[in-house]
Amino acid sequence: MNKQTPIKSVVIVGGGTAGWMAAAALARILQNKIAIRLVESDDIGSVGVGESTIPMMRVFNDALGINEDEFVRETRATFKLGIEFLDWGREGERYLHSFGRFGQDQGTVEFFQYWLRAYQAGLAPALDRYSINRMAAMANKFMRPAPPERGNSPLADIVYAFHLDAGLYARYLRTYAEARGVVRTEGKVVQVRQRSMDGFVEALVMENGDEIKGDLFLDCSGFRGLLIEETLKTGFEDWSHWLPCDRAWAVPCELAAGLKDELLPYTRAQARPAGWQWRIGLQHRTGNGHVFSSRHMSEDEAASILLNSLDGKPLADPKLLRFTAGKRSKTWNKNVVAVGLSSGFIEPLESTSIYLIQATVSSLVKFFPDAGFDQADIDEFNRQADFEVERIRDFIILHYHATTRADTPFWDHVRTMAVPDNVRRKLDLYKAHGRSVRENNELFSETAWQQVMHGQGIQARGHDPLADLLDERQLLGFLGDIENVVRKCVDYMPGHKEFIHAIWQAKR
């Protein structure tokens, strides 16, 4: 049997959310058996706009053993039950894509199909009434899921994520990582040295002349892609023909006077003439941004729209981000793994940026190499990474394409554009009987696709025929019972601001 040569050192290039998430996770898993060094420059700022997350964030924090109350205090986080979409299907309409499930399935028939049957017959109210997450969000209520000892409580179905200050989160993880042996080196990389025999990255040459050698390198250098692209020339797959937005203005503002007593437990995404605007409420400020297509709107006009629609006074000058939607041809090339923005970018419409960092690090752990860097492991890692990001891409495309808006050139373009086969299949399946299928544990569930398609006006011609096995009296009784339970659960829940206040009070 051949003896494997182990990896002795991991070098992370770049800090920010990506760098410190990677450093913290690897420090937890490797437990000082492999040296970890993170190189970052105080002169190079991070993008720092990824302040909205999805529920998988809780899995990451739990894996690190992070106390959630401490995390909420340190990052000035608020809780998130979903995303509200305004003006996406038609102007003036809104819906909430919430986490968690709706109602209760019966046998082999999912709840959505029972509701759809009644809704198509004009016998059921809006889908919101059957979701604790949706109704709680609209009432500005929040609580964590009921513990198992409470029995089979519907309150156990609450699913949540966070809004957080990305800069504070990176700082928090830096403290965590350094306490577990990660060494931080401050300075600029001026040269990347490669091995002559195979092109693998061998060392970083710093501005002060120091050399930092490593076996495995993680590129967390942002859009620049210092190692994965500037050095290894990996290549980039451009998706701007499906996702034409290529700019974003970002600016924080003060909490509006009317919102200081009511922190919204959901993200808001409002469609604009050539893109959309986000609003993310934290404990101490509101994060805002305007994502837009520069082919359909000037940068100045986009900034004006953003600044004229803030809830409070700006706390900084707007920051412009330029990007191209797409991904690297390979996330892992030779001995370099791209993490975060260096691996590609999908606009933050469904808050997936931080999740993709988490997914990359998790997959790296699953395929962690020895010093031989077997190509079979790298190829499978890349195959899974491609599947993950392409399915997220498709879900984002759905939001643009599933619209009746034709009031601006931008919306007319995305409404009529050709879409990937996967998106077309899902749309055709839903239009037939309201069905959706989740493939290979892709990130967004059947319920997520159904919410967006129904919320943006896609009409299903029929419903699951098995939902007709209940007679009308049974059907309406079933739906009415669930609606009553949801209402009672939401009435029981405390206010979102009240819940966060209790977390601060518990520290005293």
Return the pLDDT at 3.
78
Which sign does the torsion angle of CA 466, 424, 354, 235 carry?
positive
Return the pLDDT at 65.
98
Which residues of the chain, if any, have pLDDT below 50? Answer: none
Q: Are strands 183-186 and 35-40 parallel, antiparallel or unpaired?
A: parallel
Calculate ∠ Cα 122-471-488, nearest 5°: 65
pLDDT in tens, 248-304: 999 999 987 655 557 899 999 999 999 999 999 999 999 999 999 999 999 999 999
**Total count of residues recorded for the chain:** 508
Q: How far apart are CA 130 and CA 182, in angstroms?
A: 47
Q: How far apart are CA 393 and CA 143, in angstroms?
A: 31
Q: Cβ(102)–Cβ(115) under 8 Å?
A: yes
Going by C-beta distance under 8 Å and a sequence separation of 6 or more, which residues neighbour residue 185?
A: 37, 38, 39, 40, 206, 210, 212
Q: Which amino acid is at 422?
A: N
3-class DSSP state of 457: coil
Return the pLDDT at 206.
96
Return the pLDDT at 42.
83
Dump the DSSP string for 258-309: GGTT---SSEEEEEETTEEEEEEE-SS-EEEEEEE-TTTS-HHHHHHHHHTT
Catalytic residues, by residue number, are: 80
Return the pLDDT at 388.
97
Q: Cβ(350)–Cβ(443) under 8 Å?
A: no
204: tokens are 């970083």
